[in-house]
Chain A
Amino acid sequence: MNTVQGISGEPTRLPCETDSEVNPMTLEAALGQMLSGISLGMVWFLIAAGLSIIFGTLKVLNLAHGSIYMLGGFLCYHITSTLSPTPGVFWIALIVAPLLTATVGGFVEVLLLRRIYGQDMIYQYILTFGLILIIGEVCKLVWGVGYNTVAAPWPFQDAVSLFGLAFPRYNLFLIGMGILVFVGLRALIGATGLGGIIRAVTHNREVASALGINVPVVYTGVFMLGCWLAGLAGALMPPMSVVALGADLSVIIDCFIIVVIGGLGSLPGAFLGAIILGLTTAFGLYIIPKLAVAFGFILMIIVLIIRPWGLMGEPD
């Protein structure tokens, strides 16, 4: 799996695939595809989790979430290339880039989004669509239209042999990170006082406000958390893929599919949805490359017809 642009961008090509005939799938190949799919799904999960948390609490569908992800990728590239000879430079980028995207998110929430809560949804869409244009163009101005790469960091450069198949260590690291963030977020929201406040605001804004919770600050915080997650995904992705323009639009559609499959506003739903979409994309590419791009959408439509509120969501 070389690129993130699975569903909506340019059709992704795997090294092993052929267009003409269906590959006979061996057990090893199947396991390899499964791991690729899951590691891709984990990066998607980070983005979709941010999107889902923001929607759950703020009731805002942030179309520009993919742009924040792309910004994280460019920042990671920028930091690693400027500080190039320093050892462990990727790990610095992995910490700094998400913090920067969270800051950008904070400004967006305070200066722009705060003015349109409670308005028709179309204004949210159009406003965040405007942000897609602005962030995309700023990235183009600063980093240009080329494809930039970031080397896989120590100690995850080489491949590891799994089931007789060479598998990049970095992908295993991504899977670990995805699970870690999932567990961490669950703990944060489910078991801490801060999480309690977020849940209270999510359930009932007015009552939470009446109980003395500073709702605007919670909104800003949740939006920044979502943008931090998107930035983290953006910084994690470059060693597995490339940093380039256009990632914003392709990734946001993948994330929509994930949150709709899993249920908007549900964290476990986003996790499940991301794994399902990752696997669907990986196996779809392997079996019927031509139709792979449509699989995610078909899945989403089936879920919406059978269980419109998503697999893990709640009926409204």
Chain B
Amino acid sequence: MEEIKDKLELLRGRIPRAILFAIFCAFMIALPALIGKSWLNITVEMLIMALAACSLNLMLGYTGMVSFGPAGLYAVGAYTTGILLAKLGTGIVPAMIAAPIMAAIVGWGVGWICVRRTQVYFALLTLAFAQIIWTIIFEWYPVTGGDDGLVSIPTPDFFFSITNSYYFCLVLVASCIYAIWRIVNSPFGGTLQAIRENPGRVEFIGVNVKRYQLAAFVLSSLFLGVAGSLYCVFSGSAFPDYAHWTKSTDMLVICLLGGIYNFSGPIVGTAVYTILIKTISKHTMQWNLILGVIVVLLVLLMRNGVVGFLSQKLSRHR
């Protein structure tokens, strides 16, 4: 174990980050040639989930707002694209541009009410709004298809090839995650982190905390909308389940699994979570039980997630 750590340490010292990053990019670009179609499918799902989790972490890890309702805004994005394509017959470009805008508008309305309260109440309010969105989708049969959802949404032929879908998602997800990275490393992102650490003091130095929290909420909704829209186009369908609160808790677990105080946490968390589920469900029907045990152990033993855990281990040997 010690030897491996030393070698890792050596690697870290010798290879600059930029090269590691370039290798990662090359790997992602070469991926369709390396793995089979079913795994490529899973990778696309992972990419979209990673974007959703990063958007959530903008609130969760960077602003310290625990939201229980990200799935609601994700579903707004998915249904906006789905309804525009299936019911109104617009092109793919306006349908995909409208999704984040719609999600941001809904996010602004929801966020405006939610940021009035903090802590438990904030979490419960976001949960309530997500459930309202779920209810609207579930009940508004003529527009959303109710519990049948929207199926066989007409998407361009381009997306019939899984490789095309993969590259499309890769480019879009990568640019969105880059945008989020720029946001959290900007002075604005710094203010958000200051709010996370101590909202009271930030208020004292003359920052309008609520306004910043609302901004974080809207930005998070915007990117969740992109993720939802992508998933709708990729799968060619939209279901009320997208807004269900179990979907929100999935996203929360992913963020926590990867580590909410690292930018790459949600991305790593998505990969670990997806692989865990795929392998566990191959062997047993009771994967919920195992997932529950993993979640409990995670909270008790590895609170900073996989990324936090690893970076702690590595820095100790530096």
- Residues of chain A whose beta carbon lies under 8 Å from any beta carbon of chain B: 7-8, 11, 55, 61, 112, 115-116, 119, 121-123, 125-127, 129-134, 136-138, 141, 249, 253, 256-257, 260, 264, 290-291, 293-294, 297-298, 300-301, 304-305, 308
Contacts and interface: CB of A to CB of B under 8 A. Distances in A.
Interface of B: 60, 66, 68, 113, 116-117, 119-121, 123-125, 127-129, 131-132, 135-136, 138-139, 245-246, 249, 252-253, 256, 260, 286, 288-289, 291-296, 298-300, 303
A131 B117 contact: no
Dominant SS at the A interface?
Answer: helix
Contact of B121 (A116, A127, A260): A260
B288 A137 contact: yes
Contact of A249 (B246, B289, B293): B246
A297 B120 contact: no
Contact of B131 (A119, A133, A297): A297
B256 A294 contact: no
Given A264-B120, A305-B113, A130 B252 contact: no
Contacts of A291: 139
B127 A123 contact: no
The 5 closest A-B pairs by CB, nearest first: A133-B292, A130-B295, A134-B292, A137-B289, A130-B296
Nearest to A256: B124
B288 A136 contact: yes
Contacts of B117: 304, 308
A291 B139 CA distance: 8
- Among A123, A130, A298, max chain B CB count under 10 A is at A130
- Among B120, B286, B289, max chain A CB count under 10 A is at B120
A9 to B, nearest CB: 11
Contacts of A127: 295-296, 299-300
A122 B295 contact: no
A50 to B, nearest CB: 16
Contacts of B131: 7-8, 253, 297
Contact of A301 (B113, B136, B246, B286): B113
B45 to A, nearest CB: 21
A308 B116 CA distance: 9
A8 B120 CA distance: 20
27 contacts: A11-B139, A55-B120, A116-B299, A116-B300, A121-B119, A121-B120, A122-B60, A122-B66, A122-B256, A125-B252, A126-B253, A126-B298, A129-B252, A130-B298, A131-B292, A133-B289, A133-B292, A253-B131, A253-B245, A256-B124, A257-B128, A293-B138, A297-B128, A301-B128, A301-B129, A308-B117, A308-B121
Nearest to B300: A115
Contact of B253 (A8, A119, A129, A297): A129
- Among B127, B129, B245, max chain A CB count under 10 A is at B127
B293 A130 contact: yes
A16 to B, nearest CB: 20
Nearest to B140: A290
B120 A61 contact: yes
Contacts of A132: 292
Contacts of A125: 66, 68, 123, 252
A144 to B, nearest CB: 12
A297 B113 CA distance: 13
Nearest to B141: A290
A203 B1 CA distance: 49
A116 B131 CA distance: 28
A260 B135 CA distance: 20
A130 B286 contact: no
Contacts of A253: 127, 131, 245
A112 B123 contact: no
